[in-house]
Structure 1
Amino acid sequence: MDKKNVVISFLGTVLDAAQSRGDGRWRKWRPNIAMNQRDDFQIHRMELFIQEKFLGLANQVKADIQQVSPDTEVNFVPLELANPWDFSEVYTVLHDWVSQYHFDLYNENYLTHITTGTHVAQICLFLLVESRQIPSVLLQTSPPKNQNKNMMTGDVGSIEIIDLDLARYDVLAQRLAAVRDNALLYLKSGISTKNQRFNKMIAEIEQVALNSPSPILLSGATGAGKSMLARRIYELKKARHLISGNFVDVNCAVLRGDGAASALFGHKKGAFTGAADKRDGWLKTADKGVLFLDEIGELGLDEQAMLLKAIEEKRFYPVGSDSETSSSFQLIAGTNRDLRHEVRAGRFREDLFARINVWHYELPSLAERREDIEPNMAHQLALASQELGRATRFNREAQAAYLDFALSEQALWRGNFRDLAASIMRLATLATEGRIDLALVQAEIERLKYLWQDDDLLAQNAFRLPEKLDLAKLDEFDKMQLENVIAVCRQHKNLASAGRALFNVSRLAKDHPNDSDRLRKYLAKFGLSWQDVSG
């Protein structure tokens, strides 16, 4: 189905006004009427900005449009302006209308008419179109060379879709820079960050978000902010009318077994025991929006294959269905693993990795962005105050002590921003009178040191060979090999999955590979079973 053309235009209080009544008015070129008289350009709807004092003229223009183009719908958009030459007033009023207007990009094409209205109004329309706040092209209309002919039967002038070079307009260039700066600040949750690496990455993500529908891969340690950034990308794209659907946030680490495919791709009624009703699935729910698959490395290989098809073809089969369904979504994937290593280990499909690795950004940890701790402290304190329903502040001495510790090497920030958010929330909660004093900060510092000390001990003891092994009887070679085998086993849910990862090359040469049996026999050489190594 062809999209409908929608023109956004100002009522021309001079150009659209007829100097004579009756049929004489058709001897004058009137741009909002003339564009509807063309045989080669059909307008389905006009959004016409008007002021109340020109309502009589607006009604006459609407009647004449419907006379020459009965199928064109004309909507009056009241736009009261105390001074139509005041840039700030005109921009603000137009911006407010744009913010609440529903742009249906899947069914309609938008054209912003820049022939009528004051020059200030035209400049504001330029700005809103070029910054994608109005998702349209610019439309210029021009009168015929001979305007003495009857406009009902003669030349009605020309129309042109144009792409203006806004760099020629200093005011517009400044406004565009301000719009872009606002977008960057928005992606950073309104926090004025100082880390150059992070700021440079955010600047590129802003360009990618507004110009590319390709998948985005966000990697980094747990708590580095992947989920928050994904949501901000979605909200920025939606504000620019690049998408109209939902933001769907899925943690792949909680998807297990047969339910994983059903949760992602949906299922038909009766597809399996317990499937009493049809389910759309997360991919369908994200249609025309953004699907964020956090911890994508946790997906099983079967689900990875189905996801690859869905990304490339925008079509997939729900579980138990013989009919394909479609969903046009943009994928943002998150991972705290090195997917290159997962590919080499056979746990992640190489073709899927290549498809989602178009735009890859690794978020630095909080410990790598210590210059951003202070503005993030203020941000987290504002959030805590809002949640607790009372204003809370550090006193000067307490803030200096907390910041001194936070910036030091003693502060490990293993949980990244989650550690910081939890710490600030504790301080705000305990500051019953709304003031965080030095005693509270000192107690919180000791609490953080204790928590991170436990992490150090856990890290040191994270890997131990099973106690039943007699290490004295093992060659160093066998010990090192066994340690690596057990490390892989502990990353998998069952014997078969671990076997596929361990024998990912040699198994390809076998007609009937039995990865479980090979791994079981290897472990048995040392008197071990799957239960001994999988915990």
Structure 2
Amino acid sequence: MAGNVIISILGSTLDNRGFGKKRHERWRPNVGLVMHPEFPVDELVLIYSRDFEDIANLTIQDIQEVSPQTQVSRWYFDCDDPWDFEKVYSELHDLMKQYTFDPEQYNYYAHITTGTHVAQICMYLLTEANYIPGKLLQTAPSKEGPQGSYHLIDLDLSKYDQIASRFAQEAQQGIDHLKGGIDTRNEAFNNMMEQLEKVSVRSKAPILLTGPTGAGKSRLARRIYDIKKQRGLISGDLVEVNCATLRGDNAMSALFGHVKGAFTGALSARPGLLREANNGLLFLDEIGELGLDEQAMLLRAIEDKVFMPLGADRSVSSNFQLLAGTNRNLFQRVTEGEFREDLLARINLWTYEMPSLKSRIEDLDPNIDYELQQFAYQVGHNVSFNKSARKKYLSFAHSEEASWRANFRDLNSSITRMATLASGGRITESILDEEIGRLKYDWSGHSADSSAGDVDEILRGVLTEPEINEIDVFDQAQLAKVIQVCQNSKTMAEAGRKLFNVSRTKRASNNDSHRLRVYLQKYGLEFKALNSHSGA
């Protein structure tokens, strides 16, 4: 059975109840600690100032008299100002680092009844931070005698059902808010939102949101801000900027500000977005578009919270937290010399890739309801699908014809158009057919105009430039299509069924996976590696 060790501060008043015999009749916290038969104390670590050596000697003498089995360890604590929080905490912290704890053999308790209020708070904080690996112990006088009473406080909140339930409820509310109140079904996305909620309330480090255009990075950034603001973690504003709109001196001035006369046209000083985000959140969308000079200044601002406005001769400060968004591969940008490796290392601590709508298509149904609710909120009346129209829309949305190129922006535009045209608040099949035709036309136009660029981009994501140059242009287009299908399929068998959809019906036996594997091996590729590039 593990023994008990109590760490306690000598009470210069409560433990000093005179040197006569009557002191044995009075409650003295540190003497009372060892007078409970059901709570034997193996060691009492007594912390005190040398100024109170006489009181300490008498207290230790009386402890040994009433509890001979208790070993008392003397620890000197000399602080010139017992009401200076920083000094008291530092001294106690240093003492605890010197003590050798053995949690496997002993239970440890931090006694928080004696000492100044500052010292008691410091003892609590040291225990809460696990520098004292144990529980809190509170004592008080009682009518039972000089031993008084004691109460144990376990700081493991998970053991307190009501408190644990409350924190779990708050966490779930935060997760729901990050998802916009949408009952999403994609397991990977839900797990990501669960972790992001924890990071949002526990960390002040930069957060990087990646993913394709229209996947919801900006919307998610605003929801992260809402959570931090609601929990009182920040007091400033959310400042948003699309870095693709910043160029040259305008970029420097917009981000870091400038002084009057810094350049031609600078008729007045400008604080800059970083200063506007002081004590708040700065969301730099498309951070990969920033110039290298701006990146260097941003790195210093993140690490040191100081930067130099354009034309200034002294630094200014801003205590902001950075959220960054990008649809680019920043590691590739580093390789190309377009993005600083040290900045990427700094903002890559918490990175979350927002999946495309196509890769979490099971969430389309609840997102349709969300878009309809948002439309109703804006116009003041409800709109809904009739049953057959909704079924047909979902069928089209899940088909290969639906590319959802702009992801949730495409969905938002689609629902807005249909809801606007819906007479009597009902989206009918005729409205739906017109909308499907429009979507097909838009997406086919994108494919025709940008197919060469898409092929190049897809291939560069999995092959090196020399490898691509060894492949005929004809074969490049075919390989890009195969890669795209693999990235949007959960299994190799599913990808094979899509790719060999006609020829497989004419074969006696189908081994689509084998056919696909042989094709990929021709180019040194594997399905598993390709599928990891999909962002699902």
TM-score (norm 1): 0.57
Q: Distance in 2 between matches of 1:463 and 1:374?
A: 28
Task: List runs of 5+ in structure 1 lacking aligned partners.
Answer: 1-108, 113-129, 131-139, 148-156, 466-476, 485-535
Highest Rg: 1 or 2? 2
Post-superposition CA distance 1:472-531 (Å, at most 9, x none)? xxxxx9x959x99xxxxxxxxxxxxxxxxxxxxxxxxxxxxxxxxxxxxxxxxxxxxxxx
Structure-2 residue corresponding to 1:126: none
Q: Counterparts of 2:271 and 2:455 in 1: how far apart (Å)?
A: 44
Q: Deviations over 1:434-467 (max 9, x none)?
A: 11111111111111111110111012244999xx
The match for 1:276 is 267
Q: Aligned partners of 1:420, 1:163: CA distance in 2, in Å?
A: 50
Q: Which residue of 2 aligns with 1:393?
A: 384
Whole-Å Cα distance in 2 between the matches of residues 161 and 238 of structure 1? 35
Offset at 1:269?
A: 1.1
SS in 1 for 2:209: strand
Give yes or no for contact 1:210–1:242 (8 Å, CA) kept in 2.
yes
Distance change in 2, residues 1:182/1:146 (3 Å): closer
Question: What amino acid sits opposite 1:364 in the alignment?
Answer: P
In the superposition, relative to structure 1, how do residues 162 and 287 fare at CA in structure 2: closer, same or farther (>3 Å)?
farther
Q: Choose the corresponding residue for 2:159, options 168, 172, 176.
A: 168
Q: Tell me which residue corresponds to 1:225.
A: 216
Q: Is the Cα–Cα contact under 8 Å of residues 388 and 429 in structure 1 kept in the other structure? A: no
Quick one: distance in 1 between partners of 2:330 and 2:254? 23
The alignment covers a number of residue pairs equal to 328
1:257 Cα deviation (Å)?
A: 1.4
Q: Higher mean Cα deviation, 320-329 or 389-398?
A: 389-398
Looking at structure 2, the residues matched to 314 and 399 of structure 1 have their Cα atoms a distance apart, in angstroms, of 51
Runs of 4+ in 1 over 4 A off after TM superposition: 140-144, 160-163, 461-465
Give yes or no for contact 2:295–2:343 (8 Å, CA) kept in 1.
yes
Q: Secondary structure at the match of 1:361?
A: strand
Distance 1:334 1:463, change over 3 A: closer
Match 1:247 to one of 198, 214, 238: 238
- The answer for the alignment partner of 2:441 in structure 1 is 450
Matches of 1:422 and 1:448 in 2, distance apart? 10
Q: Residue 459 of structure 1 aligns to a residue in which SS?
A: helix
Distance 1:464 1:141, change over 3 A: closer
The unaligned stretches of length 5 or more in structure 2 are: 1-117, 122-127, 129-135, 457-465, 474-536
Specify the SS of the correspondent of 1:145: strand
CA distance in 2, matches of 1:352, 1:455: 34
Counterpart AA for 1:342: R
CA RMSD, aligned part only?
3.2
How far, CA to CA, are the matches of 2:187 and 2:455 in structure 1? 40
Given residue 174 of structure 1, which amino acid in structure 2 is its aligned partner?
A: S
Cα 1:401–1:463 shift into 2, 3 Å: closer
Q: Determine the structure 2 residue equivalent to 1:494.
A: none
Report the counterpart of residue 337 of structure 2 in structure 1.
346
Deviates more, 1:232-241 or 1:175-184: 175-184
Instruction: State TM-score, norm by structure 2.
Output: 0.57
Match of 2:205 among 214, 220, 228: 214
**CA shift for structure 1 position 354:** 0.7
- 8 Å contact 2:209–2:324 — kept in the other structure? yes
Contact 1:394-1:436 at 8 Å conserved across structures: yes
Instruction: Give secondary structure in 2 for the equivalent of 1:275.
Output: coil
Deviation at 1:143, TM superposition (A): 8.0
Aligned to 2:189: 198
Matched, 1:145 2:141: yes
Query: Aligned letter for 1:455?
Result: H
- Match for 1:255: what amino acid? L
Q: Deviations over 1:169-188 (max 9, x none)?
A: 32333332222111110100
Structure 2 CA distance for aligned equivalents of residues 463 and 452 of structure 1: 13
| Aligned-pair identity (%) | 53
Q: AA paired with 2:280? A: G
* 1:319 and 2:297 aligned: no
Aligned to 1:459: 450
